[in-house]
Amino acid sequence: MLVSKHRWLWIALLGITSFAACKKNNDDAPANDPTSNPSEADKLKDTALLYSKDLYLWYKQIPSTFNARSYSDLNKEMEGIRQYSIEPGYASAVDRWSFAIDQSQWNNVSSGVGGDFGINVFFKQEGDLRVSYVEEKSPAGKAGIRRGWRILKLNGSDNITTGNANAIISAVYNSAATTFTFQKPDNSTVDLTLNAGTYLENPVQLDSVYTTGSSKVGYMVFNSFLGDTTAVYNKFSQVFSRFVNAGVQDVVIDLRYNGGGYVSVQQKLANYLAPSSANGNLMMKQEFNDKYTKYNSTDYFKKLGNLNLSRIFFIVSKSTASASELLINNLKPVLDVKIVGPSATYGKPVGYFPVAVGSWYIFPVSFKSTNKAGEGNYYNGLPLTNKSADGLDKDWGDVNESSLASVLQYISTGSFGKVVPSNIDDSKRANVNEGNSVLDRPSFKGMIDARSLQKL
């Protein structure tokens, strides 16, 4: 049986290497009930707690009374420690990510037993479900499905409502086969049955050059900082050489569905986008808790390519997370950064790596990042320069797509103009936002730094 990449890929790619330093011994774990011999399951929970009290960014806030054995499994335990991630200026815990997963489930994916349709969906408005993007080499991509197509039925059911979001997730992301009824932009309809399959993701969904007035504008849709890094770096080289050869003066990077990935890929892209004047300047700092300060690191810009920008535009959404936010935050001190989209970004300025505990991997949040100006802690997301709708009824690169159109207007006139109405009735707006939040939950959101694994 194929496993949806939306459910497991983010776990698989976090599990590059398991943590090996200061290995804990189950026998050293505290006994919550000294009157009885602990079970093997309780020993694992105790060990997970010991690791967390060592590695967790907020380890000092985990109370001595925390009862690891009261949780049904290690994942519930990791979720339990999240409540202690209190940061100055935030009324509630900021950690939404620490988790654990059985290694056998991870091994299924890492050995290639995984796949889905390669289609992603969001609601444009209540009852109007759209394809947000398609992986080119996936079953959906090979079937010719495009961003902007409307989904009228799933397996013959027209219950396409925000209240039915969990069933939509099951049909679109977690099924081996689903029959879709699509409405195309020309209003024609087509029934297509997709079978889940494995495929290689293409992080660069589109790159284009536009002429806006007297200005040349380079546009790149970048959907993930994961994947075959050699292929991604080759694509970066091709895209930015094309931009330079075309005389591009402004660049728009579309990260609206990019949940993050490798810190190293973020660094590579930042070095292409940074101006020549940033060369040698501090890009970012990575900081662990006070037990591991010797592993803190500092990275500097090393300019790549001949593109020399004074400003840059990012298109974002609530799905823009982690390594995507890191890129934007790192460029803010060295460029005029303008952020456009339907909402502020997700808000994940921290990362983690896997720790083997018995047959599990645990992932307690273990490091945070800041930029040259010391800015980080954007747990509420990076704010917008200008709000624009997510033009879900348009394909990538369509100059009439709401967010891209607003940026092109600014480049041409110096003004973003008014937000294009979304045509969502105010009484239903909350339902649409909540429905899309549910649809977004299975998507990858993470920041992975293999260097941390090698150091520790």
DSSP string spanning 403-455? HHHHHHHHHHHS---PPPP----HHHHHHHHHHHHHHHTTS--EEE-HHHHHH
**Strand pairing class (177-183; 189-195):** antiparallel
pLDDT the model gives residue 3: 42
H or E stretch at 298 = strand 297-300
CB 411 within 8 Å of CB 338: no
Phi-psi group of 23: left, alpha or beta (phi > 0 → left; psi -120 to 50 → alpha; rest → beta): beta
CA distance 303 to 275: 7
Closest C-alpha to 200, from 118, 300, 276, 281: 118
pLDDT the model gives residue 425: 61
Residue bearing tokens 């690191």: 297
Token code pair at residue 177: 């086969």
pLDDT the model gives residue 2: 41
pLDDT the model gives residue 302: 98
Burial 208-238 (b: 16+ CB within 10 A, else e): bebebeeebbbbbbbbbbbbeeeebbebbee
CA distance 423 to 427: 12
Q: What is the CA radius of gyration of the chain?
A: 23
pLDDT the model gives residue 20: 42
CA distance 49 to 69: 10
CA distance 45 to 108: 24
pLDDT the model gives residue 7: 40
Class of domain 204-346+381-421: alpha beta
CB 148 within 8 Å of CB 154: no
Instruction: Report phi then psi at 68, rounded to 5.
Output: -60, -35
pLDDT the model gives residue 442: 78
CA distance 215 to 48: 56
Residue partners of 46: CB distance under 8 A and separation at least 6: 26, 29, 30, 31, 32, 38, 68, 69
Q: Where in the chain is the domain with CATH 2.30.42.10?
A: 116-197+423-449
Token code pair at residue 408: 């092109």
The CATH homologous superfamily for domain 116-197+423-449 is: PDZ domain (2.30.42.10)
Single-letter amino acid code for the residue at 335:
L
CA distance 114 to 397: 30
pLDDT the model gives residue 201: 86
Q: Where in the chain is the domain with CATH 3.90.226.10?
A: 204-346+381-421
pLDDT the model gives residue 453: 52
- Length of the chain, please? 456
Token code pair at residue 257: 């569905």
CA distance 368 to 204: 27
- Does the model's pTM come out above 0.75? yes
**Strand pairing class (204-212; 215-222):** antiparallel
CB atoms < 10 A from the CB of 7, how many? 18
CB atoms < 10 A from the CB of 451, how many? 14
Closest C-alpha to 439, from 115, 150, 123: 123
List own/partner pairs for 401-406 with CB under 8 A and 24 or more apart: 403/254, 403/256, 403/315, 403/340, 403/341, 403/342, 404/219, 404/252, 404/254, 404/315, 406/340
Report the chain (456 residues): mean pLDDT per 10 consecutive residues: 41 37 48 68 97 97 97 97 96 94 62 69 97 95 98 98 96 96 98 93 95 94 90 97 98 96 93 98 96 94 97 97 96 98 96 90 93 96 96 97 97 83 65 92 72 56
